[in-house]
Amino acid sequence: MAGFLMGLTSILMFISSSDSSQLVPESLIISSFQESLQMVSDAFNKTAQRLDLHPSPSQMYRLSRRPSAETQQVSRSAEIFQTTLTLLKEKTSRRQRRSVQISEVLSVKAVERIANLSGCPRTFQSTTCATDEEYRSITGVCNNRKNPFWGSANTGLARWLPAEYEDGENQPKGWNAGRQYNGFQLPPVREVSKRIIRSSSSALQEDRDYSQMLVDWGQYIDHDISFTPQSSSQTSFTPGFDCLRTCVSADPCFPIQISRDDPLSRNSSCLPFFRSSPSCTGLQRQQLNSITSFIDASTVYGSSEEQQQILRNSAGLLAVSDEFWDTGRPFLPSVPQRPSACLQQPGSLALLEARVECFAAGDSRVNEVLPLAVLHTLWMREHNRLAELLVQINTHWGKQRVYQETRKIIGALHQIFTMRDYIPKVIGQDSVNEFLGPYEGYNESVDPSVSNVFATAAFRFGHVTISPYLRRLNQSFQEDERYETLTLQQSFFSPWRLVREGGLDPVLRALLSAPAVLQDQEHLMTEELTERLLVLNVPQNLDLAALNLQRGRDHGLPGYNAWRVFCGLDRVESRSDLLKLVGSDDLVEEIMDLYGHPDNVDVWLGGLLERPLSGARTGPLFSCLIGKQMKKLRDGDRTKA
């Protein structure tokens, strides 16, 4: 109700102002906003009612993985904002009997007013930053004092190239059936996955140079710098469509089309897919980064004041479990929702023991796989260890200073491990020299915000290095007879395995000593991810490769060739050009048969298939995009840890 009253107040202010450059009648803007508010509110209410009436584990998981309350409000406002623009575009097109772009009929001032009506944060207003602030803010605001919102939580992902939407503003590629690009229709993403990503059942190759920790640190640090939430509504804003069941594209539903004989079909011709939440910026749809872009250990501390307070105790330490211990060492605390959605130990013995709820950490994805939970737990323990040492050395410090000084050290360690130890192994030392170079100090003109193409494509290269198995080793670093090797699926959302089956050490030993999977073009992604991906808010198995491709289209990412040009690389004009980069005649034939034209190739797929550079685990394109992003994260961060 408060938000609605705020909207009415804004309407009165809006009516009292005039804008001579405005081509759409004010009455049409107001009515479109009111209609949008009703549509979005109804969809969110229906989703909430479903959660209340049917509190299944999958629905509880959806609640437990929600971003912060602030992010939820920003996301809802952005949905109202974007839906208002869509309605105005549709209505104006009908009135003028032609397809119009919203930029033709709305001024910048009018768009700002619509954003205000929708409840969007007023990030375009000036914010005063303290000049004597000693510690980085938990939200990232004021890291850059001239541009306070660069890199902060709940702001849009950066665009290094303009988005490409089918209508120029909002609709993803593939939204309109039959649409052609360079004379060809884009292939369904599931078909790409089946024919290219899972192209062979050959045995996995082991990486002779690096352990599994290379893979899991990549996932962990990715969760420190980007998190684009999906729409919180499972119901379309257009009445009558349920995103879990419909095969019609209707915001926020963007289903993945499949054949009815597909093993994932369940007698349907599509898989459910929710569009990412939009941000409240601009006429062209942008996506939200709900956490800070900075490498600041937000995985440990959160990216909002609310999260930070939940994760702290009263002595400058981080909260720990009050129920379970790992041979005298603490586990992470549990989420407040009871019962939570995490899976439980099967069998009759489990009925006699207390439930092991989902862990709570600075990032809500902590429970997705066991290695993530292990790394989160280690950093919680390290914070508390260092904090206790600092108290002994500095007895005059208060709890706030103990907490903040420890947080600085933990953040610095995250930066060092990532920039010094991880990135050179991924993109190669030559690319580090080319794209990062030596550090020359903070540059306030550098925007450190995570880019859309990095978060949605380039840094997802690691998905093809995920092993289908999780080993657990004993003190001699041999297979532990007590705890069997797990399939990847068995490690999803199962913190009970850490509590009941030996704690962190058996998993950690394997991360440090078991070889990583080496990407090769004969086996790009394990079937555990393409055929048996567990996503608990969807009641069926999904395909991670198809989700990645669909997400890139949802975000309007330009194609493979556009990004090669951006990086100063040669365009791919022919099959022979592609063959030089990929090195496999069979793969090139599949790519050209599916896409028809090199410009049509999705950037995630194209970057993934390039042969790795010497001393790297990525090809030229992804090495460029990752290198450029890391330089921005380093040079644009005023508060070094």
3-state secondary structure of 513: helix
Other Cβ atoms closer than 10 A to 554: 26
**Exposed/middle/buried for 164, CB within 10 Å: 0-12, 13-18, 19+?**
middle
CA-atom Rg of the chain in angstroms: 25
Q: How far apart are CA 168 and CA 158, in angstroms?
A: 18
Pairing of strands 184-185, 180-181: antiparallel
| Letter string b/e over residues 199-213, b meaning 16 or more CB atoms within 10 A of that residue's CB | beeeebeebeebbbb
Rounded CA separation 343/287 (Å): 31
Asked if residue 283 lies in contact with residue 70, where contact means CB atoms within 8 angstroms, the answer is no
Residue 571 per-residue DSSP state: P
173: left (phi over 0), alpha (psi -120 to 50) or beta: beta
Burial class of 369 by CB neighbour count within 10 A (0 to 12, 13 to 18, 19+):
buried
Those residues with Cβ within 8 angstroms of residue 97's Cβ, 6 or more apart along the chain or in another chain = none
- Tokens standing for residue 636: 């644009």
Cα distance between residue 229 and residue 250, in whole Å: 18
Q: Which residue has the tokens 């665009």?
A: 159
Helix (H, G, I), strand (E, B) or coil at 447: coil
Residue 119 CB neighbour total at 10 angstroms: 21
Neighbours of 445 (CB within 10 A): 9
Determine contact, residues 303/329, Cβ cutoff 8 Å: no
Give pairs for 336-340: CB < 8 Å, separation 24+: 336/310, 336/360, 337/60, 337/63, 337/64, 339/60, 340/60, 340/61, 340/64
Left, alpha or beta for 433 (phi > 0: left; psi -120 to 50: alpha)?
alpha
Residue 330: what are its φ and ψ, rounded to 5°?
A: -80, 150
Catalytic residue numbers read 223
Q: What is the DSSP letter of 282?
A: S
For residue 270, the surrounding DSSP H or E stretch is strand 270-271
The Cα–Cα gap between 374 and 504 comes to 6
Q: Per DSSP, what are the bridge partners of residue 542? A: 533
Residue pair 318/327 in contact (Cβ under 8 Å)? The answer is no
Cα distance between residue 448 and residue 301, in whole Å: 20
